[in-house]
Amino acid sequence: MDRTARMSEKYISRSPAIAARRLGDEMLIMSAADSTLFSLNPVATCIWQAADGRTPLSQIVERHVCTEFEIDPEEAYRDAAGFVEELAQHGILRISDDPEPEGPAAGEMP
Amino acid sequence: MSLMQEMNARALSLGVPLSAHVDLTYRCNERCEHCYLDHDDKGEMSTAEIRELLEEMAEAGVLFLTLSGGEPLLRRDCFEIIGHARSLLFHVKLKTNGVLIREQEAARLRALGLEQIQISVYSHRPEIHDAITKLPGSLQRTLAAIRFLQSQGLKVTVANVLMRGNLRDSEAVQKLATGMGARYALDPTITPMMSGDRSVLRLRIPAKDLSDVFRNPALVGDAEEFCAPPAPVDERMMEGIPCSAGHTACYISPYGDLFPCVQFPLPCGNVRREKFLDIWRDSPQLAEVRSIRGKNLPTCSSCAHLGSCTRCPGLAYMEGNMRGPSSADCEKSFVRTGVVTAGMKARGLSDLAILVQIQTQPLAAAV
């Protein structure tokens, strides 16, 4: 993947202000902010679960999406960036230009 | 199909308990005249037991968690339990009378990330509300709690249980709720006590008044649609399940007993002796509940209301047969549409004679 083409890395973390549970191979997430319910497909679930605030989005896509789902890296990154933006708008994911400090990741799944 | 319906269908096909209701205690600081519980503590689960139960339920797939009682805030560990539930990413709804909630408690609940709070208000008039709760000053304290919670940005639903003593106050309670920015939910269901004592049913509102409620657009929305005759029974209705009880939902008492629903006192196991998921998967009682389809109901399968009746299998169980009709729901279906139910016919003319007096025209047409 050509990382130089991007302005900067994105770091994503799960907001604690959500309710979430795995249902089969999908993830159900409800936003506390607006009570919107989301059902994430297996690819989106992979990104969601890897959102620890410390791993760059590009690495999450490379490690978890491209390898497991055999998707073109550039296309996968574009889709992932759009997906995380949408979830961030609903207060479900947090996006930062910098990694979070070491410690327990927010919104850790049981 | 909405996403919520899709999710429920998926949970049903996977056998996942998507929602659970846990009563933390049966103790209460009110003594509501219609309450179906006794309020003694017969050995509630400890904090550690409840924490473990929540972990097991999260593992089993429960997302929607209702914490209730009794009055749950009488437990000193209530905030700790809510906090643990939120750390496990449950969607938490708290049912409370609000009497113990002041500014500080409201802020604490907000900080814990509680999604929804339901508070019962019986009347806008203290003399009526307080007479039902038997706690002087309770309306004032409950309304103050709603304001504290609303000021914290929490979502409050005002539940208005309708009984003989407060049925004229429903519209005023609705206005009061919406005026405070809360949602309003009307409930005309009075349930027999868990012990089987049916004396509280005397408080149910008379059918004539229920008819007025069902035809009041302010309370039910489109009254014409709400009271429309039932759609013809089809294959889907015959193969349908009665409700989510035991299929994607369950209830757990303060003593760890698991039931299909808070209104369905069929003991299925105890989480103090067995893992939650083991009971959920292996209980013969739950298997029996899950085996029932519309076509298996000896009386209701021949009823015109099969597809639209709110038939509660728990109320039917309390009347002696979980596959039988629930007389309260028969009455609702009849009062709503004027079409006689199979359950009413099966019980004979004594019921009908009473109802003829209040719904002469529709009943005559239906018969």
In chain A, how many H helices and how many E strands? 4, 6
> Are B88 and A20 an interchain contact pair (Cβ–Cβ within 8 Å)?
no
Residue A1 reports pLDDT greater than 50: no
Encoded tokens for B92: 């938490």
Spell out the CATH class of A10-91. alpha beta
Instruction: Give yes or no for residue A34 having a pLDDT over 80.
Output: no
Residue A7: pLDDT band with limits 50, 70, 90: low
Please tell me the distance in Å from B198's CA to the nearest CA on chain A.
Answer: 38
Q: What is the pTM of this model?
A: 0.89
**Could you please report the per-residue DSSP string of B40-107?**
--S-PPPHHHHHHHHHHHHHHT--EEEEESS-GGGSTTHHHHHHHHHHTT-EEEEEE--TT--HHHHH
User: What is the three-class DSSP state of B157?
Assistant: strand
Pick from B343, B359, B263: which is nearest to B303 by CA?
B343
Task: Return the percentage of chain B with pLDDT > 90, whole number.
Answer: 81
Contacts of B4 in chain A (CB under 8 A): 37
Indicate the pLDDT class of residue B351, thresholds 50, 70 and 90: low
Nearest to B108, CA basis, from B78, B74, B72? B78
Q: Encoding tokens for residue A12?
A: 């994503």
User: Chain B interface, mutation test: which of A21, A22, A35, A49, most B Cβ atoms within 10 Å?
Assistant: A21
Question: Judged by CB atoms within 8 Å, which residues 30-69 of A form the interface with B?
Answer: 30, 32, 35, 37-39
CA distance B107 to chain A (A): 15
CA–CA separation, B207 and B222 (whole Å): 20
List beta partners, residue A4. Answer: none
Q: In whole angstroms, give the CA distance from residue B73 to residue B186.
A: 24
pLDDT digits (tens, 9 = 90+) for B113-166: 998 999 999 999 999 999 999 999 999 999 999 999 999 999 999 999 999 999
Q: Taking residues B20-40, what's their average pLDDT?
A: 94
**B353 has pLDDT over 60:** no
* Higher pLDDT pick, B356 / A84: A84
Q: What is the CA radius of gyration of chain A?
A: 13
Q: Does B11 contact A23 at a Cβ distance shorter than 8 Å?
A: yes
Q: Which residue of B has its CA nearest to A109?
A: B88
CA angle, residues B279, B281, B286, in degrees to nearest 5: 75
Residues forming a β-bridge with B155: B116
CA distance B1 to B341: 29
Residue type for position B50: I
Residue B365, pLDDT score = 34
**Is 0.90 exceeded by the ipTM?**
no
Q: What is the pLDDT of residue A91?
A: 85
Mean pLDDT of chain B: 92
CB pairs under 8 A between A and B: 53
- The CA distance from A12 to the nearest CA of chain B, in Å, is 18
